[in-house]
Amino acid sequence: MSVIRSLFSLCGLSVAMLMQAQPQWSAPLAPVEHDGYYTIVLSPEVTGRSRADLADLRLLDASGKEAAYLIEREPSMYERSWMRSYKLLRNERVKRTTIIEMESDSTATVDELLVRVRNARVSKRARITGSDDRADWYMIQDECLAVGEGDGATSVLRFVDLPLSDYRYYRIVLDDSLSAPVQVLDLGHSARSRSEGRYTPVAGISFNRTEDRSSTRIALFTRSPFSADRLVFDIRSEVPFRRAAHFSKRTSYTTRERKRDVVRTTEEPLGDFTLTRTSRGRVAAPGVSTDTLFITIENGNDRPLDITDIHAFQLEQRMVAKLEAGVPYTITTADVKATMPRYDIAHFRDSLPETLGTLDVPAMTARPVAPKAGPAFAPSMYWVWAAIIGIGAVIAFSAVRLLRGASTTDPNT
Protein backbone atom coordinates (compact mmCIF):
# COMPACT_ATOMS: atom_id res chain seq x y z
CA MET A 1 0.00 0.00 0.00
CA SER A 2 2.89 2.39 0.68
CA VAL A 3 3.97 1.95 -2.94
CA ILE A 4 0.50 2.88 -4.15
CA ARG A 5 0.43 5.96 -1.91
CA SER A 6 3.80 7.07 -3.29
CA LEU A 7 2.56 6.60 -6.83
CA PHE A 8 -0.54 8.65 -6.08
CA SER A 9 1.64 11.46 -4.67
CA LEU A 10 3.82 11.44 -7.76
CA CYS A 11 0.75 11.55 -9.94
CA GLY A 12 -0.61 14.56 -7.98
CA LEU A 13 2.75 16.34 -8.36
CA SER A 14 2.65 15.81 -12.10
CA VAL A 15 -0.86 17.20 -12.32
CA ALA A 16 0.22 20.23 -10.26
CA MET A 17 2.94 20.93 -12.81
CA LEU A 18 0.20 21.22 -15.42
CA MET A 19 -1.99 23.43 -13.24
CA GLN A 20 0.55 26.14 -12.45
CA ALA A 21 -1.21 29.52 -12.49
CA GLN A 22 0.39 32.61 -13.94
CA PRO A 23 -0.66 36.24 -14.41
CA GLN A 24 -2.62 36.60 -17.62
CA TRP A 25 -2.25 40.35 -18.26
CA SER A 26 0.57 42.87 -18.00
CA ALA A 27 1.46 46.47 -18.81
CA PRO A 28 4.90 48.17 -18.89
CA LEU A 29 5.62 51.38 -17.01
CA ALA A 30 7.78 54.14 -18.43
CA PRO A 31 11.17 54.33 -16.61
CA VAL A 32 11.51 57.25 -14.19
CA GLU A 33 14.38 59.76 -14.16
CA HIS A 34 14.98 59.91 -10.40
CA ASP A 35 14.96 57.38 -7.57
CA GLY A 36 12.09 57.81 -5.14
CA TYR A 37 8.44 57.14 -4.42
CA TYR A 38 5.91 57.50 -7.24
CA THR A 39 2.13 57.37 -7.52
CA ILE A 40 0.89 54.95 -10.18
CA VAL A 41 -2.75 55.61 -11.10
CA LEU A 42 -4.41 52.28 -11.85
CA SER A 43 -6.55 52.44 -14.95
CA PRO A 44 -10.10 50.99 -14.91
CA GLU A 45 -8.75 48.23 -17.17
CA VAL A 46 -6.19 47.17 -14.53
CA THR A 47 -8.74 47.07 -11.73
CA GLY A 48 -11.34 45.45 -14.00
CA ARG A 49 -9.01 42.57 -14.91
CA SER A 50 -7.92 42.15 -11.27
CA ARG A 51 -9.74 40.66 -8.33
CA ALA A 52 -11.87 43.00 -6.23
CA ASP A 53 -9.25 43.06 -3.44
CA LEU A 54 -6.39 43.56 -5.96
CA ALA A 55 -4.54 40.64 -4.32
CA ASP A 56 -3.34 39.40 -7.73
CA LEU A 57 -1.69 42.71 -8.61
CA ARG A 58 2.13 42.68 -8.80
CA LEU A 59 4.84 45.21 -9.65
CA LEU A 60 7.90 43.53 -11.17
CA ASP A 61 11.33 45.00 -11.90
CA ALA A 62 13.48 44.22 -14.94
CA SER A 63 14.65 40.89 -13.44
CA GLY A 64 11.11 39.76 -12.64
CA LYS A 65 11.40 40.32 -8.88
CA GLU A 66 8.52 41.84 -6.94
CA ALA A 67 8.74 45.49 -5.92
CA ALA A 68 6.94 46.50 -2.72
CA TYR A 69 3.91 48.77 -3.03
CA LEU A 70 0.81 49.88 -1.19
CA ILE A 71 -2.68 50.58 -2.52
CA GLU A 72 -4.59 53.82 -1.94
CA ARG A 73 -8.33 53.97 -2.63
CA GLU A 74 -9.96 57.35 -3.14
CA PRO A 75 -13.00 58.01 -0.89
CA SER A 76 -16.18 59.19 -2.55
CA MET A 77 -16.26 62.24 -0.28
CA TYR A 78 -13.73 64.19 1.77
CA GLU A 79 -15.00 65.88 4.91
CA ARG A 80 -12.88 68.40 6.78
CA SER A 81 -13.69 70.29 9.96
CA TRP A 82 -11.78 73.00 11.78
CA MET A 83 -12.32 75.71 14.40
CA ARG A 84 -13.33 79.12 13.13
CA SER A 85 -12.61 81.79 15.76
CA TYR A 86 -15.03 84.45 16.88
CA LYS A 87 -13.93 88.00 17.67
CA LEU A 88 -12.89 88.11 21.34
CA LEU A 89 -13.99 91.31 23.11
CA ARG A 90 -13.11 90.42 26.69
CA ASN A 91 -11.10 87.71 28.46
CA GLU A 92 -10.29 88.58 32.07
CA ARG A 93 -10.65 87.54 35.71
CA VAL A 94 -13.14 89.45 37.88
CA LYS A 95 -13.01 88.49 41.56
CA ARG A 96 -13.73 84.74 41.63
CA THR A 97 -14.89 84.43 38.02
CA THR A 98 -13.40 84.35 34.52
CA ILE A 99 -15.43 86.37 32.01
CA ILE A 100 -15.12 85.86 28.24
CA GLU A 101 -17.16 87.90 25.75
CA MET A 102 -17.24 87.54 22.01
CA GLU A 103 -19.05 88.93 18.98
CA SER A 104 -20.68 86.62 16.46
CA ASP A 105 -21.25 87.25 12.78
CA SER A 106 -24.00 89.81 12.34
CA THR A 107 -26.36 87.51 10.41
CA ALA A 108 -25.39 84.15 11.90
CA THR A 109 -27.31 81.97 14.35
CA VAL A 110 -25.34 80.09 16.99
CA ASP A 111 -26.07 76.57 18.25
CA GLU A 112 -22.61 75.65 19.53
CA LEU A 113 -19.46 77.09 21.00
CA LEU A 114 -15.95 75.70 20.92
CA VAL A 115 -13.86 76.77 23.91
CA ARG A 116 -10.09 76.27 23.52
CA VAL A 117 -8.54 76.05 26.98
CA ARG A 118 -5.01 75.53 28.32
CA ASN A 119 -5.11 71.89 29.41
CA ALA A 120 -6.06 71.16 33.02
CA ARG A 121 -8.04 68.56 34.94
CA VAL A 122 -11.01 70.36 36.42
CA SER A 123 -14.76 70.93 36.09
CA LYS A 124 -16.32 74.38 36.43
CA ARG A 125 -19.79 75.79 36.34
CA ALA A 126 -20.25 77.85 33.16
CA ARG A 127 -23.06 80.37 32.67
CA ILE A 128 -23.70 81.44 29.06
CA THR A 129 -25.73 84.57 28.30
CA GLY A 130 -26.48 86.62 25.20
CA SER A 131 -26.98 90.27 24.38
CA ASP A 132 -27.67 92.58 21.47
CA ASP A 133 -26.04 95.68 23.01
CA ARG A 134 -23.56 94.35 25.62
CA ALA A 135 -25.59 96.17 28.30
CA ASP A 136 -28.46 93.79 29.04
CA TRP A 137 -27.56 90.07 29.20
CA TYR A 138 -30.09 87.22 28.95
CA MET A 139 -29.75 83.62 30.06
CA ILE A 140 -29.01 80.98 27.44
CA GLN A 141 -27.63 78.04 29.37
CA ASP A 142 -26.10 76.91 32.68
CA GLU A 143 -23.86 73.88 32.52
CA CYS A 144 -20.64 72.27 33.77
CA LEU A 145 -17.50 72.78 31.66
CA ALA A 146 -15.08 69.87 32.06
CA VAL A 147 -11.43 70.18 31.03
CA GLY A 148 -8.70 67.53 30.90
CA GLU A 149 -9.30 65.17 27.99
CA GLY A 150 -6.73 66.35 25.52
CA ASP A 151 -4.82 63.08 24.94
CA GLY A 152 -1.53 64.68 26.01
CA ALA A 153 -2.06 67.99 24.18
CA THR A 154 -1.25 71.29 25.92
CA SER A 155 -4.58 72.81 24.84
CA VAL A 156 -7.98 71.18 24.43
CA LEU A 157 -11.30 71.99 22.74
CA ARG A 158 -14.50 71.79 24.74
CA PHE A 159 -17.74 71.55 22.78
CA VAL A 160 -20.75 73.41 24.22
CA ASP A 161 -24.14 72.60 22.65
CA LEU A 162 -26.44 75.65 22.85
CA PRO A 163 -30.12 76.32 22.13
CA LEU A 164 -30.36 78.00 18.75
CA SER A 165 -29.69 81.71 19.38
CA ASP A 166 -29.35 84.84 17.28
CA TYR A 167 -27.72 87.29 19.72
CA ARG A 168 -24.90 89.46 18.48
CA TYR A 169 -22.82 89.11 21.66
CA TYR A 170 -22.21 86.11 23.92
CA ARG A 171 -20.68 85.89 27.39
CA ILE A 172 -19.30 82.90 29.28
CA VAL A 173 -18.78 83.27 33.02
CA LEU A 174 -16.69 80.52 34.66
CA ASP A 175 -17.07 80.07 38.43
CA ASP A 176 -13.60 80.02 40.04
CA SER A 177 -14.83 79.95 43.66
CA LEU A 178 -14.02 76.26 44.20
CA SER A 179 -10.83 75.92 42.12
CA ALA A 180 -8.13 77.98 40.47
CA PRO A 181 -9.05 79.56 37.13
CA VAL A 182 -8.28 78.00 33.77
CA GLN A 183 -6.78 79.95 30.88
CA VAL A 184 -9.22 80.37 27.99
CA LEU A 185 -7.32 80.83 24.73
CA ASP A 186 -10.03 81.19 22.13
CA LEU A 187 -13.74 80.93 21.34
CA GLY A 188 -15.16 79.78 18.05
CA HIS A 189 -17.41 77.39 16.17
CA SER A 190 -16.75 74.39 13.96
CA ALA A 191 -16.53 74.97 10.23
CA ARG A 192 -16.97 72.08 7.84
CA SER A 193 -16.26 71.53 4.17
CA ARG A 194 -17.00 68.66 1.84
CA SER A 195 -15.38 67.83 -1.48
CA GLU A 196 -15.69 64.92 -3.83
CA GLY A 197 -13.00 62.33 -4.38
CA ARG A 198 -11.14 62.09 -7.67
CA TYR A 199 -12.55 59.92 -10.45
CA THR A 200 -10.91 58.20 -13.41
CA PRO A 201 -12.94 57.99 -16.64
CA VAL A 202 -13.58 54.53 -18.02
CA ALA A 203 -12.29 54.66 -21.61
CA GLY A 204 -14.04 53.11 -24.58
CA ILE A 205 -17.52 52.80 -23.04
CA SER A 206 -20.22 51.76 -25.51
CA PHE A 207 -23.88 51.01 -25.06
CA ASN A 208 -26.90 49.71 -26.89
CA ARG A 209 -30.53 49.84 -25.87
CA THR A 210 -33.87 48.23 -26.50
CA GLU A 211 -37.25 49.68 -25.60
CA ASP A 212 -40.70 48.29 -25.03
CA ARG A 213 -43.96 49.95 -24.05
CA SER A 214 -42.95 50.81 -20.49
CA SER A 215 -39.17 50.51 -20.04
CA THR A 216 -35.77 51.14 -21.61
CA ARG A 217 -33.10 48.44 -21.38
CA ILE A 218 -29.45 49.57 -21.74
CA ALA A 219 -26.37 47.35 -21.95
CA LEU A 220 -23.16 49.21 -21.01
CA PHE A 221 -19.85 47.57 -21.95
CA THR A 222 -16.24 48.09 -22.99
CA ARG A 223 -13.43 45.91 -24.35
CA SER A 224 -12.49 44.64 -20.87
CA PRO A 225 -14.27 44.13 -17.54
CA PHE A 226 -14.84 47.42 -15.76
CA SER A 227 -16.10 48.80 -12.47
CA ALA A 228 -18.04 52.09 -12.44
CA ASP A 229 -18.69 54.17 -9.34
CA ARG A 230 -20.49 56.95 -11.20
CA LEU A 231 -22.45 57.26 -14.42
CA VAL A 232 -23.35 60.47 -16.24
CA PHE A 233 -26.22 60.29 -18.76
CA ASP A 234 -26.37 62.88 -21.53
CA ILE A 235 -30.12 63.35 -21.90
CA ARG A 236 -31.78 65.67 -24.38
CA SER A 237 -34.92 67.01 -22.72
CA GLU A 238 -36.59 70.41 -22.36
CA VAL A 239 -39.02 69.28 -19.65
CA PRO A 240 -38.40 67.90 -16.15
CA PHE A 241 -38.32 64.14 -15.72
CA ARG A 242 -38.02 61.66 -12.89
CA ARG A 243 -37.57 57.98 -13.73
CA ALA A 244 -36.99 54.99 -11.43
CA ALA A 245 -34.25 52.67 -12.66
CA HIS A 246 -32.06 49.79 -11.49
CA PHE A 247 -28.71 48.12 -12.24
CA SER A 248 -28.07 44.43 -12.83
CA LYS A 249 -25.50 42.05 -14.25
CA ARG A 250 -25.47 38.48 -15.53
CA THR A 251 -23.81 35.75 -13.49
CA SER A 252 -23.19 32.12 -14.34
CA TYR A 253 -23.69 29.13 -12.09
CA THR A 254 -23.40 25.36 -12.48
CA THR A 255 -26.24 23.00 -11.65
CA ARG A 256 -26.52 19.22 -11.80
CA GLU A 257 -29.20 17.99 -14.20
CA ARG A 258 -29.65 14.39 -15.30
CA LYS A 259 -26.21 13.44 -13.99
CA ARG A 260 -24.58 16.22 -15.98
CA ASP A 261 -23.19 19.63 -15.04
CA VAL A 262 -25.11 22.37 -16.80
CA VAL A 263 -23.99 26.03 -16.81
CA ARG A 264 -26.84 28.50 -16.56
CA THR A 265 -27.01 32.29 -16.27
CA THR A 266 -29.15 34.51 -14.10
CA GLU A 267 -29.52 38.26 -13.69
CA GLU A 268 -28.26 39.65 -10.38
CA PRO A 269 -29.74 42.95 -9.17
CA LEU A 270 -27.15 45.58 -8.15
CA GLY A 271 -29.31 48.37 -6.76
CA ASP A 272 -31.84 51.04 -7.63
CA PHE A 273 -31.47 54.72 -8.50
CA THR A 274 -33.53 57.66 -9.72
CA LEU A 275 -32.75 59.56 -12.88
CA THR A 276 -33.76 63.23 -12.76
CA ARG A 277 -33.14 66.36 -14.74
CA THR A 278 -32.04 68.29 -11.64
CA SER A 279 -29.13 65.87 -11.07
CA ARG A 280 -28.00 66.47 -14.67
CA GLY A 281 -28.05 62.75 -15.34
CA ARG A 282 -25.39 61.99 -12.71
CA VAL A 283 -26.00 58.88 -10.58
CA ALA A 284 -23.98 56.65 -8.29
CA ALA A 285 -23.09 53.31 -9.87
CA PRO A 286 -22.73 49.98 -7.98
CA GLY A 287 -18.90 49.76 -8.27
CA VAL A 288 -18.98 46.05 -9.18
CA SER A 289 -16.64 44.60 -11.79
CA THR A 290 -18.52 43.15 -14.74
CA ASP A 291 -18.26 42.61 -18.49
CA THR A 292 -21.64 44.25 -19.11
CA LEU A 293 -23.66 46.51 -16.83
CA PHE A 294 -27.39 46.43 -17.52
CA ILE A 295 -29.62 49.43 -16.80
CA THR A 296 -33.40 49.25 -16.83
CA ILE A 297 -35.29 52.58 -16.82
CA GLU A 298 -39.00 52.50 -15.99
CA ASN A 299 -40.80 54.92 -18.30
CA GLY A 300 -44.38 54.25 -17.23
CA ASN A 301 -46.65 55.90 -19.78
CA ASP A 302 -44.08 58.58 -20.66
CA ARG A 303 -41.95 58.58 -23.76
CA PRO A 304 -38.48 57.03 -23.45
CA LEU A 305 -35.72 59.47 -22.58
CA ASP A 306 -33.52 60.69 -25.43
CA ILE A 307 -30.16 59.43 -24.12
CA THR A 308 -27.38 60.56 -26.46
CA ASP A 309 -24.36 59.29 -24.50
CA ILE A 310 -23.30 57.66 -21.22
CA HIS A 311 -20.01 58.30 -19.40
CA ALA A 312 -18.62 55.99 -16.73
CA PHE A 313 -16.16 56.92 -13.97
CA GLN A 314 -14.29 54.95 -11.34
CA LEU A 315 -13.03 56.30 -8.02
CA GLU A 316 -9.28 56.65 -8.38
CA GLN A 317 -7.15 53.77 -7.11
CA ARG A 318 -3.40 54.25 -6.81
CA MET A 319 -0.29 52.22 -6.28
CA VAL A 320 2.54 53.91 -4.34
CA ALA A 321 5.99 52.36 -4.79
CA LYS A 322 9.67 53.25 -4.61
CA LEU A 323 11.14 53.08 -8.12
CA GLU A 324 14.72 53.19 -9.34
CA ALA A 325 15.72 55.54 -12.12
CA GLY A 326 16.00 53.98 -15.56
CA VAL A 327 14.62 50.59 -14.50
CA PRO A 328 11.68 49.28 -16.55
CA TYR A 329 8.84 48.02 -14.34
CA THR A 330 5.85 45.89 -15.29
CA ILE A 331 2.43 45.56 -13.69
CA THR A 332 0.89 42.09 -13.88
CA THR A 333 -2.49 40.81 -12.77
CA ALA A 334 -5.14 38.08 -13.16
CA ASP A 335 -3.23 35.27 -11.44
CA VAL A 336 -5.94 32.99 -10.01
CA LYS A 337 -3.52 31.39 -7.54
CA ALA A 338 -2.10 34.67 -6.20
CA THR A 339 -2.57 35.63 -2.55
CA MET A 340 -2.47 39.04 -0.93
CA PRO A 341 1.18 40.19 -0.75
CA ARG A 342 2.70 41.37 2.53
CA TYR A 343 5.17 44.24 2.28
CA ASP A 344 6.81 46.27 5.05
CA ILE A 345 5.75 49.47 3.30
CA ALA A 346 2.18 48.89 4.51
CA HIS A 347 3.29 49.64 8.09
CA PHE A 348 4.70 53.06 7.17
CA ARG A 349 1.85 54.51 5.13
CA ASP A 350 1.64 57.70 7.20
CA SER A 351 5.40 58.35 7.23
CA LEU A 352 6.20 57.99 3.53
CA PRO A 353 7.76 61.02 1.81
CA GLU A 354 5.96 62.96 -0.89
CA THR A 355 5.86 61.18 -4.22
CA LEU A 356 8.00 62.60 -7.00
CA GLY A 357 5.42 62.22 -9.72
CA THR A 358 2.42 60.39 -11.13
CA LEU A 359 2.57 57.57 -13.66
CA ASP A 360 -0.24 56.24 -15.83
CA VAL A 361 -0.64 52.61 -16.84
CA PRO A 362 -0.87 51.98 -20.60
CA ALA A 363 -3.19 49.42 -22.18
CA MET A 364 -2.62 45.89 -20.93
CA THR A 365 -1.63 42.98 -23.14
CA ALA A 366 -2.23 39.27 -22.73
CA ARG A 367 0.83 37.42 -21.42
CA PRO A 368 1.96 34.26 -23.19
CA VAL A 369 1.61 31.19 -20.98
CA ALA A 370 5.13 29.98 -20.16
CA PRO A 371 6.26 27.34 -17.67
CA LYS A 372 7.84 28.62 -14.48
CA ALA A 373 11.56 28.28 -14.10
CA GLY A 374 12.50 24.81 -12.83
CA PRO A 375 15.42 22.37 -12.80
CA ALA A 376 17.82 22.00 -15.68
CA PHE A 377 15.88 18.95 -16.88
CA ALA A 378 12.39 20.16 -17.82
CA PRO A 379 10.39 17.51 -19.68
CA SER A 380 7.97 18.60 -22.35
CA MET A 381 4.23 18.37 -21.79
CA TYR A 382 4.05 15.20 -23.89
CA TRP A 383 6.43 13.44 -21.52
CA VAL A 384 4.48 14.71 -18.50
CA TRP A 385 1.26 13.29 -19.89
CA ALA A 386 3.01 10.06 -20.76
CA ALA A 387 4.31 9.85 -17.19
CA ILE A 388 0.82 10.41 -15.79
CA ILE A 389 -0.65 7.68 -18.00
CA GLY A 390 2.17 5.30 -17.10
CA ILE A 391 1.77 5.98 -13.38
CA GLY A 392 -1.97 5.35 -13.68
CA ALA A 393 -1.31 2.02 -15.40
CA VAL A 394 1.16 0.96 -12.68
CA ILE A 395 -1.35 1.89 -9.98
CA ALA A 396 -4.07 -0.17 -11.66
CA PHE A 397 -1.74 -3.17 -12.16
CA SER A 398 -0.57 -3.04 -8.54
CA ALA A 399 -4.13 -2.82 -7.27
CA VAL A 400 -5.14 -5.90 -9.31
CA ARG A 401 -2.18 -7.91 -7.97
CA LEU A 402 -3.02 -6.97 -4.41
CA LEU A 403 -6.62 -8.07 -4.89
CA ARG A 404 -5.57 -11.42 -6.39
CA GLY A 405 -3.09 -12.01 -3.57
CA ALA A 406 -5.78 -11.33 -1.03
CA SER A 407 -8.17 -13.78 -2.68
CA THR A 408 -5.60 -16.66 -2.86
CA THR A 409 -4.68 -16.30 0.82
CA ASP A 410 -8.32 -16.28 2.01
CA PRO A 411 -8.82 -19.64 3.88
CA ASN A 412 -12.52 -19.64 3.03
CA THR A 413 -11.87 -19.94 -0.74
On whether residue 157 sits in a domain, the answer given is: yes
- The region of weakest confidence among 131-135, 272-276, 378-382, 387-391 is 378-382
Q: Which of 56-65, 105-114, 127-136 has the lowest mean pLDDT?
A: 105-114
The answer to whether residue 383 is domain-embedded is no
Q: What is the pLDDT of residue 375?
A: 52
Last residue within a domain, chosen from 277, 304, 331 = 304
Q: What secondary structure does DSSP assign to 9-42, as a single string?
A: HHHHHHHHHHT-----EEEEEPPPSS-EEEEEEE
69/93 same-domain check? no
**Predicted pLDDT of residue 383:** 61
- Residue 340: inside a domain, yes or no? yes
Rounded to whole angstroms, how far apart are CA atoms 43 and 46?
5
* N-term to C-term CA, the chain: 23
Is residue 278 located within the same domain as residue 187?
no
The answer on 252 and 291 residing in a single domain is yes
Say if residue 380's pLDDT is above 60.
Answer: no
User: Would residue 401 count as lying in a domain?
Assistant: no
- Note whether residue 385 is domain-resident: no
In this prediction the pTM is 0.67
Residues 86 and 191 in one domain: yes
- Write out the residue range of the structural domain in which residue 251 sits: 200-304
211 and 130, same structural domain? Answer: no
Domain of 265, CATH number, reads 2.60.40
Per-residue pLDDT at 259 exceeds 70: yes
- Asked if the model's pLDDT at residue 372 lies above 60, the reply is no
Q: For all residues of the chain together, what is the average pLDDT?
A: 85
Domain count, the chain: 3
Which amino acid belongs to residue 354? E
Which band of pLDDT confidence, cut at 50, 70 and 90, is reported for residue 80? confident
Which pLDDT does position 77 carry in this prediction?
86
pLDDT exceeds 90 at position 208: yes
**124 shares its domain with 182:** yes
pLDDT given at position 194: 83
Lowest-confidence segment of 107-111, 162-166, 279-283, 316-320 by average pLDDT: 107-111
CATH at 121 = 2.60.120.260
Q: How far is CA 158 from CA 36, 124, 187, in A?
A: 42, 12, 10
251 and 336 housed in the same domain = no
Instruction: Report the distance separating Cα 4 and Cα 391, nearest Å.
Output: 10
Question: Within this chain, do residues 51 and 155 fall inside the same structural domain, yes or no?
Answer: no
pLDDT of 149 > 70? The answer is: no
Asked whether the predicted pLDDT for residue 93 surpasses 80, the reply is yes
Q: pLDDT above 90 covers what percent of the chain?
A: 54
**145 and 208 assigned to the same domain:** no
Q: Residue 116 has what pLDDT?
A: 87
Average pLDDT over residues 200-215: 92
